[in-house]
Structure 1
Amino acid sequence: MHAMKRPDRMGRWIALAAMFSALPVFAQTATAPAAVASMNREVADDGWRYSLGLGIFETPRYPGASASRFQPAPLVGVSYGRFFFGSVPDANVLFGLGAYLYRGENVRLGVALSYDLVNPREASDDAHLRGLPDIDRTAHATLFASYNIEWLSVVGAASQDIAGKHEGTSASLDVLAKYRPISKLTFTAGPGVTWGSAQYNQTFFGITAEDSTRSGLPAYAPGSGVASVRMTAAASYLLDKHWNLGARVTVSRLPGAAGNSPIVEKKTQTTYGAFANYVF
């Protein structure tokens, strides 16, 4: 009987991972919540698994924006044993390729390669950005780890720009408590933090002397440090062995040097999302 339950558990695992990792909506940014561990500790040891879904999200136009935008996002997951493609479990990646290096009962460690599907920021996103350069899409290499027990997930990830687009290094940590009032319904909530290297924070929040001349904003060099702190609340409902529905809200705060950037119009950033996902 234990083996027969694995497909359902794996399906929920993929769907939830897709929901969490999709909320950055195609790009990894300072205000985007890091992905959190799945709600279930068990991961299938072998065999193919597939999931397909669609999410709709309301996100800030760029890190620090006062305006937001709605955007649909495809949710795709394919896995075979320890290898996976698409929405990467336990990592802040919407579309990527990765593998688990270690999978224990409570601890997981893995790596992933990914590429932004949209530019993290464009000058056309807001009049406030006029004269500032776009932030181009780039490739990321991510190392992630998670610790999962029945009522708690702790997830850490470190990501490096490997395509030379000046996005540097970022690291995140999320701690989420889980509550399941009934077997099909799961609530999750908890805090998280993202740290950015000097290069990362300069790209997202800094203004060079040349950019200052073009934009009229004062030059600014934030240095390395905490790029965002956040609180996340989510819910997921398993309709049957194939269908998942979910929703999440994340409220982020841009502290210190990041929040004091002249680029930032609003230090408190809110992201909403809802999704439907089908597991084959």
Structure 2
Amino acid sequence: MKFRWLFLAGLACAQAQAGGVTLPAGGLPNLVGVGVGSTPQYSGGDESVIGVVPGLRYVTESGRLVEWYGPVAQLNFGELEGWQWGPTVALRLGRKDVDDEVVARLHEIDTTLEAGAFFGYEYLNRSGIPWRARFGANVLTNAGQEYNGARFNVSGTFWLPLSERWMVGTGLGGSWASADFNRVYYGVTRDDANASGLPVYTPGAGMQQVFGWVGTIVQVHPHWYAGAMVFMQRLTGDAGDSPIVTERGDRNQLTFGVGLGYAWR
């Protein structure tokens, strides 16, 4: 019944594998993986689902980098190490068939596709311990299919190898959302209020969330890697003040999972 929610559940561990395989010899391999984990049913909810997601990192013969982690995919027209940019697409999950009987009376939101662009920089330390850092930003819009306006996201990640077979990583970031996005995903219309008993709420634009994560990768075979990650989001601003969140859900959104990936050159 809730299959549409499952794409997010293993996203953290898929990112841990594909974004973190920093081999001492330098460079990242191509990788395909799958993750399984737990994530909230919808943004702001406090009930969780278990699900599975794919992960892919592939460098084409022309040197373009393709990355696909759960509901997000991007094509890098820049450098593998250095400045990076290109198009991004994302599957934005909706809000339907939820367990909370009050939230279930609110307007439904369909799962929809977002599109936009990203820009960032990736650095690999080639002198001494080969740690890797990546900083970036992207902007996404739905062009009125479910919401107008846009979302703007910034993030940074850091991976440190502790040995030739074991590495750890962490990351931080935040998201800004337009007023229409917040009204669709966190607002309570008058019809919603009459149906659910929640107060009418009309959020504006602003910071939607901050987030952070920790993860680890272990090489279990020359071509196989296992990973685990814990990903925490904190809804902020008008999104965090929504009665959907404060009365029926939780500002703190926890995703965690494990995954397995196959790497090759």
Indicate if the aligned counterparts of 1:250 and 1:272 stay in contact, CA closer than 8 A.
yes
Greater shift in the superposed pair: 181-190 or 163-172: 163-172
**What is the identity, as a one-letter code, of the residue corresponding to 1:226?**
M
**What is the identity, as a one-letter code, of the residue corresponding to 2:105?**
G
Identify the residue that residue 254 of structure 2 maps to in structure 1: 270
2:175 paired with 1:191: no
Identify the residue that residue 204 of structure 2 maps to in structure 1: 223
Relative to structure 1, is the Cα distance of residues 97 and 67 closer, same or farther in structure 2, using a 3 angstrom cutoff?
closer
- Deviation at residue 183 of structure 1 after TM alignment: 2.3
Relative to structure 1, is the Cα distance of residues 60 and 202 closer, same or farther in structure 2, using a 3 angstrom cutoff?
same
* Equivalent residue for 1:258, pick from 226, 239, 244: 239
Relative to structure 1, is the Cα distance of residues 83 and 238 closer, same or farther in structure 2, using a 3 angstrom cutoff?
same
Identify the residue that residue 6 of structure 1 maps to in structure 2: none
Indicate if the aligned counterparts of 1:139 and 1:162 stay in contact, CA closer than 8 A.
no
- CA distance, structure 1, for counterparts of residue 6 and residue 223 of structure 2: 24
**What is the identity, as a one-letter code, of the residue corresponding to 1:243?**
W
Number of corresponding residues = 241
2:45 paired with 1:65: yes
- Deviation at residue 43 of structure 1 after TM alignment: 6.5
- CA distance, structure 2, for counterparts of residue 269 and residue 43 of structure 1: 30
After the TM superposition, which residues 68-83 of structure 1 pair with which residues of structure 2 at under 5 Å, given as runs? 68-76=48-56, 79-80=59-60, 81-83=62-64
**TM-score of the aligned structures, taking structure 1 as reference length:** 0.74
Greater shift in the superposed pair: 103-112 or 253-262: 103-112
Relative to structure 1, is the Cα distance of residues 97 and 173 closer, same or farther in structure 2, using a 3 angstrom cutoff?
closer
Relative to structure 1, is the Cα distance of residues 250 and 27 closer, same or farther in structure 2, using a 3 angstrom cutoff?
closer
Q: Deviations over 1:43-64 (max 9, x none)?
A: 78xxxx5x44321111011111
Q: Deviations over 1:30-83 (max 9, x none)?
A: xx9xx7993458478xxxx5x443211110111111221211223355552455
Relative to structure 1, is the Cα distance of residues 106 and 171 closer, same or farther in structure 2, using a 3 angstrom cutoff?
same
2:93 paired with 1:113: no
Identify the residue that residue 124 of structure 1 maps to in structure 2: 98
**The residue matched to 2:180 in structure 1 has which SS?**
helix
Relative to structure 1, is the Cα distance of residues 52 and 179 closer, same or farther in structure 2, using a 3 angstrom cutoff?
closer
2:107 paired with 1:133: yes
- CA distance, structure 2, for counterparts of residue 98 and residue 130 of structure 1: 33
Indicate if the aligned counterparts of 1:160 and 1:170 stay in contact, CA closer than 8 A.
yes
- CA distance, structure 2, for counterparts of residue 229 and residue 252 of structure 1: 6
Identify the residue that residue 247 of structure 1 maps to in structure 2: 228
Indicate if the aligned counterparts of 2:230 and 2:256 stay in contact, CA closer than 8 A.
yes
- Deviation at residue 155 of structure 1 after TM alignment: 2.2
Relative to structure 1, is the Cα distance of residues 201 and 124 closer, same or farther in structure 2, using a 3 angstrom cutoff?
same
* Equivalent residue for 2:78, pick from 88, 102, 116: 102
**The residue matched to 1:257 in structure 2 has which SS?**
helix
Identify the residue that residue 235 of structure 1 maps to in structure 2: 216
- CA distance, structure 2, for counterparts of residue 103 and residue 256 of structure 1: 36
- CA distance, structure 2, for counterparts of residue 83 and residue 221 of structure 1: 43
2:192 paired with 1:211: yes
Identify the residue that residue 128 of structure 2 maps to in structure 1: none
Greater shift in the superposed pair: 159-168 or 233-242: 159-168
- Deviation at residue 128 of structure 1 after TM alignment: 2.9
**The residue matched to 2:185 in structure 1 has which SS?**
helix
Greater shift in the superposed pair: 154-163 or 263-272: 154-163
Indicate if the aligned counterparts of 1:84 and 1:97 stay in contact, CA closer than 8 A.
no
**TM-score of the aligned structures, taking structure 2 as reference length:** 0.78
2:142 paired with 1:161: yes
- Deviation at residue 129 of structure 1 after TM alignment: 0.7
**The residue matched to 2:7 in structure 1 has which SS?**
coil
Relative to structure 1, is the Cα distance of residues 122 and 82 closer, same or farther in structure 2, using a 3 angstrom cutoff?
farther
Relative to structure 1, is the Cα distance of residues 261 and 187 closer, same or farther in structure 2, using a 3 angstrom cutoff?
same
- CA distance, structure 1, for counterparts of residue 221 and residue 119 of structure 2: 29
**What is the identity, as a one-letter code, of the residue corresponding to 2:86?**
G
